[in-house]
């Protein structure tokens, strides 16, 4: 069955005339930030919408093999029946496992494990010429394996992934620690990371004087459970509570109504619409009406990864130059020096931990380009950003950060005629409406 789907996708690729780029047609919504002129809306499509099956769950070896279009909500539902969950579960229900690898996903176990891709052991990749490659960290396609992450589908189509699972319990108990300064907050992140006294860690920064660290433990029993799928907003609860209990699936998807940019944001709006309008529905609307989105000074929805030693400097700068709260914060361990970043980048970086600061829903002043200012600040501090949002890098600057040699080496194997576009062109030009 899976093989037939792969053959059908390969046949579409082989039949596609050279010279015009393609994008993927998935079953669900894309969690890229919707952009008004994104050229992918005009591309010919390779239909991968039937890659939605979980192929196997092996409870003994704690491994799962699934097609790339499986969503995390379906995956958690299936693996929990075996008392297991994926090691890294991104917080929005309909993010897919293929999208998590190709587009960079993180969550509150990232302080131990890095990204979802760091828990993967094998990818099946369909190349632009319709060949199938099995890539593992220890076979002849090791570089293909390492480079698939964050390449936004420009190095081939992920068809099937095998990844690790961990034992889970039915509930998560949350404790909230509040700090008045970023230095104290950073120390607490480092302390909990060193002690490994928790299963989950993320945080909400409510203001420059209120930093909340959300610490989670799997537990067997809960005296009560909260739910944030309708009227109550999870991030708001962290400002007033000191403790909470959620069922494990509700914990994983606690931000599904929006992380810090919850819509509708009024209580009455949520009463009327909140039950039906989660992140999936809003993103579907954004895609449908993308032409109506502003091209000038678009709202900032952006994840930036700051080396933890520079967190105070970055937060002080952000508060002075681009004050916006609340911010979501996800500590992220340097588990592997990723091949997709330039060697020089890793050489200058002493830190073993990043802190992802998610700036979601920041309005820009007219005429300002906050995206660009943040890119420049990141370069100064040795930070990086994911490419799901608006990107303003020049080509030279881009390839001083991303690894052109490794990228080119894989591209020659998986997409020699550049059917999927190159990474810079796809994320910094085509996504921004430029050829
Ligand atoms: C508002 C918003 C909130 C977010 N919140 C979170 C969050 O809480 N936690 C988190 O971890 N992340 C979050 N993200 C980021 C999200 O994890 C990434 O955008 C991720 O790539 C989305 O996965 P997707 O399945 O929707 O992939 P898509 O958006 O459909 O695709 C992402 C990229 O990967 C490529 N791709 C998709 N599938 C494949 C495949 N099978 N083979 C090859 N390439 C493929 C696509 O072409 C595209 O370039 C958020 C993003 C937005 C816009």
**Ligand 1 pocket, 127 CB below 6 A?**
no
Q: Which residues contact 281 (CB under 8 A, 6 or more apart)?
A: none
User: Which residues touch 36 (CB under 8 Å, ≥6 apart)?
Assistant: 290, 291, 292, 293, 294, 295, 298, 433
- Give the separation between CA 151 and CA 123, rounded to whole angstroms: 14
Are the beta carbons of 91 and 256 closer than 8 angstroms?
yes
Task: Quickly state the pLDDT bin for 32 (edges 50, 70, 90).
Answer: confident
pLDDT digits (tens, 9 = 90+) for 198-236: 999 999 999 999 999 999 999 999 999 999 988 899 999
Residue 211 Cβ inside 6 Å of ligand 1? The answer reads no
For 106-164, write each residue's pLDDT tens digit. Answer: 999 999 999 999 999 999 999 999 999 999 999 999 999 999 999 999 999 999 999 99
Ramachandran angles phi, psi of 300, nearest 5°: -85, 120
Of ligand 1's listed atoms, the one at least distance from the Cα of 388 is 19
Span 410-430, average pLDDT: 96
Q: What is the pLDDT of residue 38?
A: 85
- CA torsion 99→105→109→111, rounded to 10°? 150
pLDDT, tens digit (0-9, with 9 covering 90-100), for 354-364: 999 999 999 99
For 417-426, write each residue's pLDDT tens digit.
Answer: 999 999 999 9
Q: Report residue 290's pLDDT band, with 50, 70 and 90 as the boundaries.
A: confident
For 114, residues 6+ apart whose C-beta sits below 8 A from its C-beta are 88, 332, 333, 334, 335, 336
Ligand 1 lined by 105 (C-beta under 6 Å)? yes
- Average pLDDT on 328-342 reads 97
Nearest-CA residue for ligand 1 atom 30 is 30
Residue with tokens 């020089």: 344
Shortest-distance atom of ligand 1 to CA 148: 43
Q: By alpha-carbon position, which residue is closest to atom 17 of ligand 1?
A: 105
Q: What is the mean pLDDT of residues 40-52?
A: 93
Query: How many A from CA of 250 to the centre of ligand 1?
Result: 20
Atom of ligand 1 nearest to the CA of 90: 11
What number is the average pLDDT over the span 58-64? 98
Q: Point out the ligand 1 atom lying closest to the alpha carbon of residue 96.
A: 25
Cα gap 268→431, rounded to integer Å: 35
Asked if residue 281 has pLDDT above 90, the reply is: no
Separation CA 115–CA 188 (nearest Å): 21
Query: What integer pLDDT is reported at residue 300 of this predicted model?
Result: 93
* Residue 102 CB–ligand 1 contact under 6 Å: yes
Domains of the chain by start residue, with CATH: 2-168+409-432 (3.30.465.10)
- Please report, rounded to a whole number, the percentage of residues in the chain having pLDDT higher than 70: 100
pLDDT digits (tens, 9 = 90+) for 99-117: 999 998 899 999 999 999 9
Using N-to-C axis directions, what is the helix angle for 311-321 and 370-381, rounded to 10°? 160
382 vs 310: CA distance, rounded Å: 8
Residue 133 pLDDT: 98
Please state, rounded to an integer, the average pLDDT across all residues of the chain.
94
Q: How far is CA 88 from the centre of its chain?
A: 11
Residue 287 pLDDT > 80 = no
Ligand 1 centre distance from Cα of residue 283 (Å): 11
Q: What is the pLDDT of residue 271?
A: 78
Q: Tell me the three-class secondary structure of 113-158, residue by residue.
A: HCCHHHHEEEEEEECCCCCEEEECCCCCCHHHHHHCCCCCCCCCEE
Number of H helices, E strands in the chain: 16, 16
CA of 119 to the centre of ligand 1 (A): 17
User: What CA–CA distances, in Å, run from 116 to 91, 145, 339?
Assistant: 12, 13, 16
């Amino acid at each position: 069955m899976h093989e037939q789907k792969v053959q059908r996708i390969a046949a579409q690729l082989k039949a596609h005339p050279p010279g015009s780029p393609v994008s993927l047609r998935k079953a669900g919504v894309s969690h890229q930030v919707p952009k008004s002129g994104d050229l992918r809306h005009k591309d010919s499509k390779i239909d991968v919408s039937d890659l939605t099956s979980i192929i196997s769950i092996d409870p003994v070896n704690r491994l799962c093999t699934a097609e790339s279009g499986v969503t995390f909500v379906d995956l958690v539902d299936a693996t929990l029946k075996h008392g297991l969950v994926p090691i890294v579960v991104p917080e929005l229900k309909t993010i897919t496992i293929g999208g998590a690898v190709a587009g960079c996903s993180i969550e509150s176990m990232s302080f131990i494990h890095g990204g979802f891709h760091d828990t993967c052991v094998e990818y099946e990749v369909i190349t632009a010429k319709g060949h199938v490659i099995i890539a593992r960290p220890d076979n002849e396609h090791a570089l293909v394996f390492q480079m698939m992450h964050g390449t936004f589908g420009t190095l081939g189509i992920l068809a099937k992934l095998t990844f690790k699972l961990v034992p889970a319990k039915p509930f998560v108990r949350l404790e909230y620690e509040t700090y008045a300064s970023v230095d104290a907050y950073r120390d607490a992140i480092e302390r909990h990371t060193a002690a490994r006294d928790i299963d989950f860690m993320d945080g909400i920064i409510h203001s420059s004087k209120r930093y909340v660290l959300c610490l989670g433990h799997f537990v067997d029993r809960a005296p009560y459970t909260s739910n944030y799928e309708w009227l109550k907003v999870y991030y708001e609860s962290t400002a007033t509570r000191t403790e909470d209990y959620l069922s494990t699936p509700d914990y994983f998807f606690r931000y599904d109504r929006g992380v810090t940019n919850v819509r509708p944001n009024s209580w009455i709006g949520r009463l009327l619409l909140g039950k039906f309008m989660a992140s999936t529905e809003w993103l579907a609307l954004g895609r449908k009406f993308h032409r109506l989105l502003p091209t000038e000074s678009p709202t900032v929805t952006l994840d930036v990864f700051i080396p933890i030693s520079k967190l105070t400097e970055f937060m002080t700068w952000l508060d002075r130059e681009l004050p916006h709260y609340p911010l979501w914060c996800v500590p992220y361990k340097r588990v592997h020096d990723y091949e997709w970043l330039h060697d020089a980048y890793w050489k200058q970086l002493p830190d073993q931990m990043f802190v992802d600061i998610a700036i979601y829903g920041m309005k820009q002043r007219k005429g300002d380009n906050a995206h660009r200012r943040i890119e420049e600040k990141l370069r100064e501090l040795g930070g990086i950003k994911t490419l799901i949002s608006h990107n303003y890098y020049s080509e030279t600057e881009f390839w001083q950060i991303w690894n052109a040699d490794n990228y080119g080496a894989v591209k020659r194997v998986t997409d020699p005629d550049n059917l999927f576009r190159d990474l810079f062109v796809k994320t910094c030009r085509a996504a921004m409406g430029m050829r």
